[in-house]
């Protein structure tokens, strides 16, 4: 983020107080901050008390940096907390999910009692397939109810799930299945994307052929399209539907692994972030209730995130279900069946809490005010944002056009690694500044530090660190303790380094400034520059590649790749076909989400004398709009400009 935009942000003087009615009836008041500050572990123990434990914990926290045990000795079953206890409390008829398929009129309403029955059947099915507590199950599904059912069934029998976003390629699936040593893959024939069935199973077939750990593939029939059938394949409806609809669950240790979720780091290899049970569920349940001021009896909540990302885990599945909330689950894209599809869903289900990403908000801004204004959005009362910094303009538009000027906006900062929200306002307490996540939640401690790890004080910018453990924190990187220590705990001894820049403004309000490492944030999704570079250089025509995230009005950042070609490729006539081929190659290696928006063929890459690619210079070039649609760097003036700047940077001129 440039200095100008930074100072523009910090001088933001508008503030929006909580609506009086909401504040008067808010779930959480300002006392929570004081109470948590006085007794952090007591505060979290109180929140853990919101859950049902088969055996109470002996100790709230055992902290042996960087390893934490939360609620040690406690035993619980996560799926019981999300389902059985609500049904036992008489809430069996409450809707857990209003599922909306992409095709119009495709609807399924699932009550808590029905969800419990489905999860019970699936749990029996997994057991029949030999899945046991401690095993890993890979889930590769579209946004259909079976995604949540599969996750909860794993949780019910103590197996860890590893959900892989449906937009990832066969190769990405292979890497994740292999790293996790997954025994079972749960997938579907396909899903609906932009009006047409798109296949998922072929990628699984390709992966399973290379992953000997996989014993079975359980396939949900969603689209009815033709699928190839192998010896390990089983239809979900054949195996699951006839199972008993009741299931006696076992309680597991609070630290039983609940899931792995792979996320990009600064190397080419994704990290399997490990989350466990008791602490994770405590924090997602409490934050979901506190930050959205959830009233489960009356609210209809909609988190638009796909279950393939952490937001989908924590705030589409575990948080809302632990709180007995009624949620909307939508399969499709925002423009499927019309660019006002989302607003028609809000109108139809009277959604009262909406949680989405700045990229989506900026896209809707571009599509114009008429679409949301044409729908009745008066049911909305709290709006949430997540995944990337939200610019004040988008924040104001969200507030005015979607929220009708009456809904507080909660901008929530957190990560796959943190498991749950960490920095966010409380809608009944905080007076919000447009574009700021405001400050750490009760029970969370944040410190912004300089290069040497010294706190910057009440005002000032630096690196965001978390200096106290929190219940939903990652417990490690799967199979890679050293990387866990190196990535998060080594830069600043004893504290968690988030990889983000942050700044306290003159009112001690916190502004998140984006990543400070080589991780890009594309539409709120993390993609590492190295991963895309590795994909590009694995193409036979590419000699070298440098990838940067360049500012983009809609997606926050866009992937721009600079490549040099091999002599053989250079000798041929390059051009559109090669560029398309390179993009497709990246889609094949990683997934369509990692396709570069622009590929620049350069005669050489700007490097320092020690051979390090000068990314900052490339970001400058990528963001200098005069390059426009020109996709080659043949223009010698651009090349010499690069060289000049390079010389200046190296020589310190
Ligand atoms: O850079 C921060 C950004 O997203 C990163 C985490 O990405 P991921 O693990 O994919 O999780 C995204 C959803 C929780 C962070 O390091 N980020 C996330 N939320 C915000 C944010 N940046 C600014 N403001 C936010 N509210």
pLDDT tens-digit series, residues 374-407: 999 999 999 999 999 999 999 999 999 999 999 9
Closest residue to atom 14 of ligand 1, CA basis? 415
CA-closest candidate to residue 202, choices 234, 219, 227? 227
pLDDT at 611: 67
Could you tell me the distance, in angstroms and rounded to a whole number, from the CA of residue 358 to the centre of ligand 1?
Answer: 11
Report pTM. 0.91
Distance CA 558, CA 525 (A): 11
More confident of the two residues 94 and 4? 94
For residue 413, pLDDT over 70 is answered with yes
d(CA 406, CA 408): 7
CB distance 501 to ligand 1 below 6 Å? no
Band (293; pLDDT cuts 50, 70, 90): very high
User: With a 6 A CB cut-off, is 40 part of the ligand 1 pocket?
Assistant: no
Ligand 1 atom closest to the CA of 413, numbered from 1? 26
Q: Which residue has the tokens 């190196």?
A: 486
Nearest-CA residue for atom 12 of ligand 1: 387
Pairwise CA distance, residues 99 & 107, whole Å: 6
Q: Which of 10-14, 28-32, 337-341, 609-613 has the lowest mean pLDDT?
A: 609-613
Query: Which atom of ligand 1 is the closest one to the Cα of 417?
Result: 9
Query: What pLDDT, in 10s, does the model give residues 251-289?
Result: 999 999 999 999 988 777 899 999 999 999 999 999 999
- The pair of structure tokens assigned to 112 is 């808590």
Query: Is the Cβ atom of 311 under 6 angstroms away from ligand 1?
Result: yes
97 lines ligand 1 (CB under 6 A): no
Tokens found for residue 650: 């190296």
Quick: pLDDT tens for 458-490.
Answer: 999 999 999 999 999 999 999 999 999 999 999
Mutate which of 524, 556, 557, 593 to test ligand 1's pocket (most atoms within 8 Å of Cβ)? Answer: 524
Q: Which of 235, 185, 227, 239 is nearest to 210 (CA)?
A: 185
pLDDT bin (cut points 50, 70, 90) of residue 4 is very low
Task: Please give the distance, rounded to the nearest whole angstrom, from the Cα atom of residue 612 to the centre of ligand 1.
Answer: 27
Are 8 and 14 within 8 A, CB to CB? no
- Kindly tell me the sign of the dihedral angle through the C-alpha atoms of 356, 358, 363, 366: positive
Q: Ligand 1 centre from 415 Cα, in Å?
A: 5
Is the C-beta atom of 386 inside 6 A of ligand 1? Answer: yes
Asked if 413 contacts 424 with a C-beta cutoff of 8 angstroms, the reply is yes
**Under 8 Å between Cβ of 324 and 298:** no
**Do residues 221 and 188 touch, judged by C-beta distance below 8 A?**
yes
**Percentage of the residues of the chain whose pLDDT score is greater than 90:** 82
Closest-CA residue, ligand 1 atom 5, reads 415
Average pLDDT for residues 331-343, to the nearest whole number? 95
Q: What domains are defined for the chain?
A: 539-648 (3.30.300.30)
Place of tokens 């193409």: 539
Q: How many residues does the structure list for the chain? A: 653
Of 460 and 628, the structure prediction assigns the larger pLDDT to 460
- Mean pLDDT value across residues 277-306: 98
pLDDT at 648 over 70: no
Do 151 and 161 meet the contact criterion of CB atoms below 8 Å apart?
A: yes
pLDDT at residue 640, rounded to an integer? 52
Nearest CA residue ID for atom 15, ligand 1: 415
Q: Omega before 352 cis (within 30°)?
A: no
Q: What is the pLDDT of residues 487-535, one digit of tens each?
A: 999 999 889 999 999 999 999 999 999 888 888 999 888 898 888 998 9
Does the beta carbon of 395 sit less than 6 angstroms from any atom of ligand 1?
no
Atom of ligand 1 nearest to the CA of 390: 24
Share of the chain above pLDDT 70, in %: 93
Angstrom CA distances, 366 to 22, 285, 381, 388, stand at: 30, 34, 23, 18
Q: List for the chain the helix, strand, coil content (%; round to 5).
A: 35, 25, 40
Taking the centre of ligand 1 as the mean of its atom positions, its distance from the CA of residue 201, in whole angstroms, is 30
Q: Whose CA is nearest to atom 22 of ligand 1?
A: 388
What's the confidence (pLDDT) of residue 600? 87
For a mutational test of ligand 1's pocket, the pick from 414, 419, 522, i.e. the residue with the most ligand atoms closer than 8 A to its C-beta, is 414
């Amino acid at each position: 983020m440039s200095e100008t935009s930074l100072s523009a942000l910090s001088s933001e003087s508008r503030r929006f107080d909580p609506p009086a009615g909401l504040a008067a009836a808010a779930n959480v008041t300002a006392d929570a901050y004081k109470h948590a500050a006085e007794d952090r572990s007591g505060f979290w123990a109180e929140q853990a008390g919101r859950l049902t434990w088969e055996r109470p914990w002996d100790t709230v926290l055992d902290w042996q940096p960087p390893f934490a045990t939360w609620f040690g000795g406690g035993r619980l079953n996560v799926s019981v907390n999300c389902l059985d206890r609500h049904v036992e409390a008489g809430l069996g008829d409450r809707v857990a999910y209003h599922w909306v398929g992409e095709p119009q009129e495709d609807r399924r309403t699932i009550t808590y009692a029905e969800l419990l029955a489905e999860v019970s059947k699936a749990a029996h099915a997994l057991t029949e397939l030999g899945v046991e507590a401690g095993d890993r199950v890979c889930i590769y599904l579209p946004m259909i109810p079976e995604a949540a059912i599969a996750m909860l069934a794993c949780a019910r029998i103590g197996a860890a799930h590893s959900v892989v976003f449906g937009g990832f390629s066969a190769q990405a699936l292979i890497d994740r299945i292999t790293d996790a040593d997954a025994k079972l893959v749960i997938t579907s024939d396909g899903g609906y994307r932009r009006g047409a069935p798109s296949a998922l199973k072929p990628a699984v077939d390709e992966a399973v052929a290379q992953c000997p750990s996989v014993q079975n593939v359980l396939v949900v029939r969603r689209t009815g399209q033709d699928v190839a059938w192998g010896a390990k394949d089983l239809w979900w409806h054949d195996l699951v539907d006839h199972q008993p609809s009741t299931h006696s669950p076992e309680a597991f240790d609070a630290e039983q692994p609940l899931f792995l979720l792979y996320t990009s780091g600064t190397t080419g290899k994704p990290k399997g972030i490990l989350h466990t049970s008791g602490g994770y569920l405590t924090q997602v349940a409490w934050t979901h209730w506190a930050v959205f001021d959830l009233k489960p009896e009356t609210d209809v909540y909609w988190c638009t995130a796909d279950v393939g990302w952490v937001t989908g885990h924590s705030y589409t599945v575990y948080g809302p279900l632990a709180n007995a909330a009624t949620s909307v689950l939508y399969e499709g894209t925002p423009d499927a069946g019309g660019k006002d599809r989302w607003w028609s869903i809000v109108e139809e289900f009277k959604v009262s809490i909406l949680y989405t990403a700045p990229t989506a908000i900026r896209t809707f801004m571009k599509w114009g005010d008429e679409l949301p204004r044409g729908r009745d959005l008066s049911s909305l009362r709290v709006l949430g944002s997540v995944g990337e910094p939200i610019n004040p303009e988008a924040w104001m538009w969200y507030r005015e056009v979607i929220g009708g000027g009456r809904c507080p906006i909660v901008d929530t900062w957190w990560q796959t690694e943190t498991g749950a929200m960490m920095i966010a306002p409380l809608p009944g307490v905080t007076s919000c500044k447009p574009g700021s996540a405001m400050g750490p939640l009760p029970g969370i401690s944040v410190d912004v530090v300089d290069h040497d790890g010294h706190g910057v004080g009440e005002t000032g910018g630096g690196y965001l660190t978390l200096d106290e453990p929190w219940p939903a924190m990652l417990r490690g990187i799967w199979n890679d303790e050293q990387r866990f220590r190196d990535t998060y705990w080594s830069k600043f001894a004893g504290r968690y380094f988030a990889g983000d820049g942050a700044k306290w403004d003159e009112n001690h309000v916190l502004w998140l400034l984006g990543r400070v490492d080589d991780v890009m944030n594309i539409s709120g999704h993390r993609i590492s520059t190295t991963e895309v570079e590795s994909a590009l250089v694995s193409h036979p025509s590419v000699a070298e590649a440098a990838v940067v995230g360049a500012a983009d009005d809609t997606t926050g950042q866009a992937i721009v790749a600079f490549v040099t070609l091999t002599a053989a490729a250079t000798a041929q006539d390059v051009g559109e076909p090669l560029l398309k081929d390179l993009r497709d190659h990246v889609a094949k290696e990683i997934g369509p989400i990692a396709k570069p928006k622009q590929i620049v063929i350069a005669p050489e890459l700007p490097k320092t004398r020690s051979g390090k690619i000068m990314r900052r210079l490339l970001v400058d070039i990528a963001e200098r709009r005069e390059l426009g649609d020109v996709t080659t760097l043949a223009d010698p003036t651009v090349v010499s400009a690069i060289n000049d700047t390079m010389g200046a940077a190296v020589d310190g001129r």
